[in-house]
A and B are shown apart, each in its own frame.
Chain A
C-alpha cells in the first residue's frame, strides 16, 4: 500500500474526517442484499457524521509516514504535517501544514534536541489547539528518535486529550544500535504512553525482520508505513463505515478510554480458499507481536476483519473467538467485520490492543500522574494488578513454558488453529522484574534484534 516513504525526514499530521454512519442503518443486518452492495466502500464522501478524525505527522519521520499513507477508500481523510523544519514541510503533500518554533530554531531543525521542540510546542499551544478543535480521533505519527517527533508529540497528544479526542499514536523507534537515539526514544515513548490512549511502537529492529532477505532500511521504513496505514484504516473503517459487524465511535472511545500501558498491534492477511485461517496464522507470527515488552494479553482488544464477499459468518465467529482467547481479552473486545468487494478472496485481520498497567483507572483527564506508575519496565505490574498480572497468576504451571497448555483445545473443534498459546508467546524473560542491562543493552532481548541481523524464516 504505502511504498513511498522515501523522505524519512518529515513529520506529518494526518486527520481523516470521520464519516458518519446513518442512524437508520446503524445496525446493519446480516442480510446479504442490504449489506454487500452498500457497505463495500469506506468512503461515503461528504457524509459527515459529526465525528472527525485527524492524522497528524510530527517531525521528519512522521511527515513521511503521512505522505506515504494511502487509504484506498478514505478519500476524505485529512492530514496535517507539523514540523519545525520549513523545508521538510514544504516538500510534504499533506493537506494542512503547520510550522512552529520559529523563535527557537529559525525554521531549521532541532538537531535531535527534543527539549527544544517541546518548549517550542508548549509556547504555540493555541495554534495546535485550533487545529484540534472538534476532532474526535487523532492519529499521531512521529519518529520518537527525532527531536521534533520526540519533543512535540507528547505535547500534541496532551492537547488532543484535553480537547476530548481519543489519541492513537504510531511511533517508529530507531534501531537499537543507534544507541543514543534509541535511548531517548524509549524515554519519549514512556512519556507518550502516559498520555495517549494507545501507543503502537514500530521498532525498526523488528521491521527489519519482515520483507525479503535483503530488505533495505528504506524498505523497512516502508514497512512501518504499511503498518501505520493498516492500523489507521482498521480504526477508521470501524468508525466510518458500516460493516457486517458494526462498531461505532462510542464503542471504541469507551474501550480505549484508559491509559495505554502496553499495546499490541498485529496484522495478518491471507487469500485463497483458506484465507481466514491463513490470515490468522500470519497474524500470530506477525513480528510486531513478538517483541520483547509487548504485551500478549490485552484488557482492550480491537479486532478488525476485512474480506471479500465470500466471508462466512460462522468462520468469522470462530476466528474472533480464537483471537480473543489468544490475547486473553476481557469484555472490552471491539470486533468489526467489513466486506469489501475489491478484496476478492483476500482477508485482512488487524488487531490493536491495550493493557492498562493500572487496572481500572480510567483516564478522566490528563492530570499529571506519578511518572513511575506507568513505565515501560514491567516492574510496575507488581503494584498494580491488571488482567496481565492475573493471567500470569493463573498460569503458574506453565510459567516456564515447559508445557504446552491445552486449555483451549477441548472446547474448540479440530479445525481450530490453536498452536500458538498466548501464555508462552511472551518473550521468555518478559515476566522478570529486572532488565538485564549490559553496556546499555538489554541482554534479554534477542541479539539478532539488537544487532540488526535478519532472520529468514
Chain B
C-alpha cells in the first residue's frame, strides 16, 4: 500500500502545495504540485489571512486534482523573522550500574533539554537535535556503550503564537491536519545539501521573495539557522524607489536586467522601463539598476555574516555555501556572496532524480519538506513504532536521502 503525503509552503510571493506518493518499495513520487501567487503575505508573515488562505487552498485543490488523490495531513514550512533559534542543552548521567547507556538515559537528557519553556506568547516550532556526546565524545548511537555522562542539545526554534496559529489555521480551514511544522531553512537545506555535504560542513542560504532563510551545518548537524526579513521583494522596492518607477516596472527590470555586480562593459548602456516608448517611458542606465541591487545584496550577506559570527570558519565549512530560492537566480549573486562571506559560494543543484520542471530553486523548500518529513528524527534506541515518523522511517533508507540524524 502506498501512502500519500502532502507538503505546503506558504511563501511570500507564491504558495506551493506538493503531493507525494510513498510507494511500498520506498521511493517517493511527486504526483501533484501546484503554485499560486500569494498576495496575502509580506516578508514571510501573513498580513491578509483571506488572500493567503485562498492562495494555499487553490494550490492544494490543484495539486489534489493533478494527483487524483486527496491528502489528510501535510508538512508545513515555517519561516518569518519572528522565529528565533537557540540551543537547548540537556545531560543525564548513565543510570545503570554497569555504566551501559540505555535509551532511557537519552530520553532523560532530551527531556531536560526541552524543559526550558519559550517566553510567554511563544511556542516551539521545531527542535533539531545536535550531536550526542558521551563523556565528551561525539557518538552516533550511544545505546549499549559504556560511559558515565550523556550530553545532548537541541537547536530549538520558537515563534510567535499568533503567527504560527495563523499559518496552521490556513491549513485547518482546508480540513487538513498539519503533521509537523518544519523550518523552511531546514527543509530546503535537506533537499539541496546531501549527507556528505552536511558532514563536511555547509551553509545553505535560501533567498525567497520576502525573507532569506539560512541553515549552517557542521559535522552533519545543524549548528545555526536564521531568518533575515529581506528578500527579492526588497530588490524590487529598492529599484522602484531608487529609479523612481512603478513597482511592476521595477519587478520587470529586476527580472530582465537585474544583476548583482556591474559589468564595466555595460557602462553607458541604457534600458527602457516599459520598452514600448509610450508616454512616461524613460531610459535608465544599467549601472543604476545594478548599483541599487548590489548594495542590497552586499548588505544582506553582511547581515548573514554578522549573524554567523565565529561560525564561518572555512575549515569547518568544507562544503562551501549553497544558494537556492527564487532570488538566487539573480545573475552574479554568488560572486557577491563569495566576496562578502569569504567562502566558496555556488548555486545549489538538485540531486538527480528530480524531474527537471520541479528542479527550480524556488521549489527547494517544498520538496525538502517531503524529504525531511520522511526522515527519522527520533532518538537512537527509541522504539521505532513510538512515533509517526518511525512508521515512515523504514522507507527512508530506500528513499536514499539524508539518513543520518
Partners in one complex: yes
Query: Closest CB-CB distance, A296 to chain B, in whole Å?
Result: 12
**Provided the pairs A419-B280, A446-B292, A455-B291 are in contact, do residues A428 and B299 lie with their beta carbons within 8 angstroms?**
no
Q: Which residues in chain A, 128-155, are within 8 Å of chain B measured between CB atoms?
A: none
8 Å CB interface, B162-212 against A? none
Q: Decide: A424 near B246, CB < 8 A? Known: A432-B43, A447-B299.
A: yes
Q: Smallest distance from the beta carbon of A419 to chain B beta carbons, Å?
A: 3
Q: Bin the interface of chain A by size.
A: 35 or more
Encode contact with B along A418-432: 1 for CB under 8 Å, 0 otherwise: 111100110111001
Interface flag for B303 (CB, 8 Å) = yes
Given A443-B230, A456-B285, are A428 and B295 also a contact pair (CB < 8 Å)?
no
Q: Point out the residues of chain A lying under 8 angstroms from B242, CB to CB.
A: 209, 446, 448-449, 455, 457
Could you say which residues of chain A place their CB within 8 Å of the CB of B43? 429, 432, 436, 444
- Separation in Å of the B402 CB from the closest CB of chain A? 32
Which residues does chain A contribute within 8 Å of B280, judged by CB atoms?
Answer: 281, 417-420
What A residues does B237 contact at CB under 8 A? Answer: 427-429, 444, 446
Is residue A411 within 8 Å, beta carbon to beta carbon, of the partner chain?
Answer: no
> Is A400 an interface residue, CB under 8 A from the partner?
yes
Partner of B295, one of A402, A436, A439, A448: A448
A residues near B265, Cβ cutoff 8 Å? none
Q: Give which listed residue, A290, A424, A451, contacts B248 with CB less than 8 A.
A: A424
Given contacts A444-B237, A448-B238, A451-B299, contact A457 B247 (CB under 8 A): no
Contact across chains for A453 and B246 when beta carbons are under 8 A apart? no
- Let me know if A424 and B244 touch, CB within 8 A: no
A374 and B237 alpha carbons, distance in the complex (Å): 26
Beta-carbon contact of A292 and B241 below 8 Å: yes
- Given A420-B280, A429-B43, A457-B285, A448 and B291 contact (CB-CB distance below 8 Å): yes
User: Which chain A residues (389-407) contact chain B, with CB distance < 8 Å?
Assistant: 399-404
CB distance from B393 to the nearest CB of A (A): 39
Instruction: Kindly state whether residue A285 has any CB partner on chain B within 8 Å.
Output: yes
Residues of B within 8 A of A444 (CB): 43, 234, 237
Task: Name the interface residues of B43-87: CB closer than 8 Å to any CB of A.
Answer: 43, 47-48, 81
| B213 interface residue per 8 A CB criterion | no
What's the least CB distance linking A176 to chain B, in Å? 13
| Nearest Cβ on chain B to A423's Cβ, whole angstroms | 9
The answer to whether the Cβ of B279 comes within 8 Å of any Cβ in the partner chain is yes
In the complex, the answer to whether A428 meets B279 with C-beta atoms within 8 Å is: no
Contact among A285, A424, A439, A456 with B247 in the assembled complex (CB-CB below 8 Å):
A424
CA distance A444 to B300 in the complex (A): 12
Please report which residues of chain B, range 244-258, place their CB below 8 angstroms from some CB of chain A when the two chains form the complex: 244, 246-248
Q: Report A-chain residues with C-beta under 8 Å of the C-beta of B284.
A: 457
How far is it, in angstroms, between the C-alpha of A420 and the C-alpha of B244 when the chains are bound? 9
Q: Is the CB–CB distance between B42 and A429 below 8 Å?
A: yes
What chain B residues lie within 8 Å of A284 (beta carbons)? 244
A287 interface residue (CB < 8 Å to B) = yes
Verify B248–A446 contact, CB threshold 8 A.
no
B238 to chain A, nearest CB (A): 4
**Residues in chain A near residue B288, CB distance under 8 A:** 455-457
In the complex, the answer to whether A425 meets B246 with C-beta atoms within 8 Å is yes
Task: Indicate if the CB atoms of A446 and B296 lie closer than 8 Å.
Answer: yes
- Residue from A209, A419, A427, A443 within 8 A of B246 (CB atoms): A419
A interface residues, Cβ below 8 angstroms from B: 209, 281, 284-285, 287, 290-292, 399-404, 417-421, 424-425, 427-429, 432, 436, 438-439, 443-444, 446-449, 451, 453, 455-457
6 smallest CB-CB distances across A and B, nearest first, come from: A419-B280, A401-B247, A446-B238, A428-B237, A285-B244, A447-B295
Seen from chain B, the residues whose Cβ lies within 8 Å of a Cβ on chain A are 37, 39, 42-43, 47-48, 81, 228-230, 233-234, 236-238, 240-244, 246-248, 278-281, 284-285, 287-288, 291-292, 295-296, 298-299, 303, 306
